[in-house]
Chains A and B, each alone.
Chain A
Amino acid sequence: MSRLRAATGSVPPVLALVAVLGALLSIVPLLYLVIQATSDGLSNVATEIFDDATLALVGRSLLLCVVVTSLCAVIGTTAAFLCVRTNLPFRRILFVALALPLTMPSYVAAYAWVAERPNLAGFWGATLVLTSISFPFVMLPVAAAMRRLDSRHEEVGRSLGRTPVNLAFTLTLRQIRPSLTAGSLLVALYVLSDFGAVATMRYESFTWSIYGAYRAGFNPTRAATLSLLLVLIALAIVVGEEFARGRANLASVGSTTDRPPSTLDLHTWRWPTFAALLLVPIVALLLPILFIWQWFSEGASRNNNWSELFNAFGSTLWVAFLATAVTMLFAIPIALVAARIAKKWALATDRAVFVLHALPGLVVGLGVVAVGIRALPGLYQKIPMLIAAYVILYLSLAVGSIRASIERTPSSIDDAALSLGSSRLEVFRRITLPVAAPGILSGAALVFLTVAKELPATILLKPTGFETLATELWTRTTVFEFGAAAPYAIALILVAMIPTAFLSVRGWQ
């Protein structure tokens, strides 16, 4: 196990405890799924899983997952390379524009596309929407890794007779590999969990049938069984990523910022490349927004209540902020444990968090309903329980980002501080936190924008009468009020834009 070997060091016991608590919180939906799936007996579980139709569904979901993840890896890496390592015109602005599609909720993008281009419905429509909104998951960390590349390695390579193009491929690819696989993992898990895009594009995937089993079939047992199968697939992907990430020692003591990596001159290809790359944000962001704007200007139902819009705007910011803060509270210790402790329980904690990311929001939401209403009835449909669901859903986004930051500093620094008489908590406060700060902020931005877009768990767990932009949007599109829905869609994209712009400017480390 490469991860186990790479991780050495120690963690303050208090933080280790918080990390384990966070992982236990993540297990709440799993607990519910196991109880629900086996409620009709174990033989029933086997019958559902080894059904031809179920296996066909697995195939369809995996196909979508592989195609979208591959496209995102290629587009994300290419875009990052062009913006960071070449003399492309307007590359900084273009980079921000390329990150902004992350702000599109999948259901909004899919709805905009299918309303304008109905023939897109199906596999390719789902691929278009999911790829166009999730390739920044790859682009942002890969770009950050490329900015950190140490030009000294390259100079050594060149002095040994390698050509610049050869170096760009071999050395660069080697050094961005951990970021590339981590980003691809997020994309793959997201594709497995997404409901909005596949439902609107009518691609019969795993999540669609899980939703169908709950809300039209009143068959929670079948839904839970399918969800457990999804968890197993996610576990396989998470473990696969650990191997793909490789054993590269990422830790580096010296600063690398004083010697930025070399820039590749595109010569006459500068403008054609620019035009080609510009197509990406146009397709992924501008066109859907134009479609939505069209509903607003054409809609006969443009009777907007601006105070409702303002309230929903405030509520969305409020829960997104709270959820982000609490997620960080658990994510920092979990990331620390995952990066520094070479024990099986640490690895399990990390994996539990990631696997949950593949579960659809409805499943996690119902899990929190089932356990929460019995364990803490006073908090049911109150803000704290809603926040707990968000934490479970998006802990992995934060952990991934923070862990990458911590792994880049060798644990020998901690050891040095400890040997000089610092306590473990002091090491955490004075070394780990500052080192992890960029990762914490980037992870926070990512969690914030994702929470702002969340719909199914919000519907189940929000306090009655409490509306976010996403729930207001949902309410209006279900009754054909396209014109009235448009401002909510635009506002939602705007809310998500602030953290996204922050992410792209900072270069997600």
Chain B
Amino acid sequence: MFRAKKFLKVAATFTAVVMAVTLVAACSGGGSSASGPLVIYSGRSEALIGDLLKTFTQETGIEVEVRYGDSGELAAQLLTEGSASPADVFFSQDAGALGALSQKNRFEVLPDNILSLVPERFRAANGEWVGVSGRVRVIAYDTNKVTNPPTTIDELLDPKWKGKIGFAPTNASWQSFVTALRVERGEQGADQWLREFAANNPRPYEKNSAVLDGIANGQIELGLVNHYYLYERKNAKGNETVAIANSYAKSGDVGGLVNVAGVGILDSTKKTEKAQQFVEFLLSPTAQNYFATKTFEFPLVSGIALGNPDLPNLTTLVGPNVDLSDLSSLAETQALLQKVGLLTK
């Protein structure tokens, strides 16, 4: 008992001193400031862009402070923070999260010299965000079990795939696809496809990577994911051990939606100039090459080579005729997914 008491006394005194020091040290002003490093909220992971950001600092002399997280969580955090946010730039994994912030008027409009670097289909119509790299929705399949993989989403409704398709219901890329489906086929058409899809008992997973896990361990045969997960997996587990391939959708099929990772400058920033330099850097040949070779994504600026010989040319991947700016109507997509029972509710 006596020793416990003594321990408590020492611990309490130590804590009091530490807390006092921390409080004094931490009491500086909040929010974005005109000096100090550029604060980036990144939905892209450190493993993907950490080295690239070092290059940015070397080339421009601009120090950065990066907060990594899930794009959706960071968007939720930015919306919760409001105008007091310390962030200057939001680098998102998908157009949906950018659209959600754009809807709440949290972005500055980007200058034309930046916007014009990227084809119109890969940037916001109102100029508030711009795509950096592209990815395509594919149907990943088990090469041991599937010989003729589907190339349209309607083939997925065939009863022979019952219980054999995996998808990630809360994943933003999946929801972007559903939004594209609504935009392309109208509410009724989307409703019908989703109901028939649900009737085929697809298996829900928490995220895209888990869908590929599901294929690898034989739970499912097909997975609705983005094209690059396969190449990342091959990189991590060794080429020959991965018995999975990508099936690219037929031209114009909504199953082959081309989505983008993109960037926007927050309206709460006091470092607009540095933030613009960062966006320009992401669209420079250095960064575009980096994404092509490191993440196996499609560069969006013209004249950059692809990262893997197996990859098709982006211009051949026509995808559905939808505007990425229209993919921000997530609330309606969620309502529809809830109605047909495909969203965890």
Contact = CB atoms under 8 A, between A and B. Distances in A.
Q: Do A and B come from one complex?
A: yes
Contact of A218 (B47, B75, B213): B75
B217 to A, nearest CB: 5
Contacts of B97: 218
A208 B330 CA distance: 18
B95 interface: no
Interface stretch (A63-71, A181-189, A432-440): A432-440
Q: Place the interface of chain A in its size category.
A: 35 or more
A369 B236 contact: no
A216 B331 contact: no
Interface string A103-147: 000000000001100110100000000000000000000000000
A255 B233 CA distance: 62
A302 B38 CA distance: 32
Q: Place the interface of chain B in its size category.
A: 35 or more
Q: Is the interface of B mostly helix, strand, loop or mixed?
A: helix
Contact of A378 (B29, B203, B204, B233): B29
Interface in B52-75: 65-70, 72-73, 75
A377 B209 CA distance: 37
A479 B80 contact: no
Contacts of A202: 203-206
Contacts of B14: 325
Interface string B303-345: 0000000000000000000000000001100100010000111
Nearest to A117: B217
Interface in A469-492: 475-476, 478-483
B170 A216 contact: yes
B157 to A, nearest CB: 22
A366 to B, nearest CB: 5
Contact of B344 (A209, A326, A379, A464): A209
B86 interface: yes
A505 B30 CA distance: 45
B15 A479 contact: no
A280 B61 CA distance: 56
A152 interface: no
A214 B76 CA distance: 6
Interface stretch (A268-276, A286-294, A380-388, A393-401): A380-388
B68 A378 contact: no
A65 to B, nearest CB: 17
B18 A212 contact: no
Given A218-B100, A379-B27, A383-B26, A53 B345 contact: yes
B8 A440 contact: yes
A209 B337 CA distance: 13
A322 B213 contact: no
A262 interface: no
Nearest to A208: B344
A166 interface: no
Interface string A77-96: 00000000000000000000
Interface in B254-294: none
Interface centre among B28, B233, B344 (most CB of A within 10 A): B344
A465 interface: yes
B114 interface: no
A366 B78 CA distance: 10
Interface in B160-199: 169-172, 175
A57 B338 CA distance: 12
A217 B334 contact: yes
Given A53-B345, A204-B344, A214-B73, A325 B11 contact: yes
B72 A214 contact: yes
A147 to B, nearest CB: 16
A459 B72 CA distance: 13
Contacts of A481: 47, 236
A464 B30 contact: no
Contacts of B77: 366, 369, 460
A118 B217 CA distance: 7
B30 A377 contact: yes
Given A300-B237, A434-B1, A218 B29 contact: no
B80 A220 contact: yes
Interface in A9-62: 53-54, 57
Contacts of B175: 216
A370 interface: yes
B81 A373 contact: yes
B343 A212 contact: yes
Interface string A205-230: 00011011011111110000000000
Contacts of B344: 204, 208-209, 212
A503 interface: no
A370 to B, nearest CB: 5
Contacts of B204: 202, 204
A315 interface: no
B45 interface: yes
Contacts of B171: 216
A107 B43 CA distance: 21
A478 B5 contact: no
B68 A374 contact: no
B79 to A, nearest CB: 7
B332 to A, nearest CB: 11
Nearest to A52: B345
Nearest to A116: B217
Interface string B101-131: 0000000000000000000000000000000
B84 interface: yes
A100 to B, nearest CB: 23
A457 B219 CA distance: 32
A217 B334 CA distance: 7
A333 to B, nearest CB: 13
A299 interface: yes
Contacts of A500: none
Interface centre among A211, A218, A300 (most CB of B within 10 A): A218
Nearest to A57: B345
B251 to A, nearest CB: 29
B48 A216 contact: no
A465 B65 contact: yes
B232 A479 contact: yes
Interface centre among B18, B67, B100, B170 (most CB of A within 10 A): B170
B170 A211 contact: yes
B12 interface: yes
A209 B345 contact: yes
A118 to B, nearest CB: 5
Interface of B: 1, 4-5, 7-8, 11-12, 14-15, 18-19, 22-23, 26-31, 39, 45-48, 65-70, 72-73, 75-77, 79-82, 84-86, 97, 100, 169-172, 175, 203-207, 209-210, 213-214, 217-219, 232-233, 235-238, 330-331, 334, 338, 343-345
Given A379-B27, A382-B22, 8 more contacts: A202-B205, A214-B76, A362-B73, A370-B81, A382-B26, A437-B1, A475-B68, A479-B48
11 contacts: A118-B217, A204-B344, A209-B344, A216-B330, A218-B75, A218-B330, A300-B238, A377-B31, A441-B8, A465-B66, A481-B47
* List of 4 A-B pairs having minimum Cβ-Cβ separation, nearest first: A377-B30, A215-B72, A325-B15, A218-B100
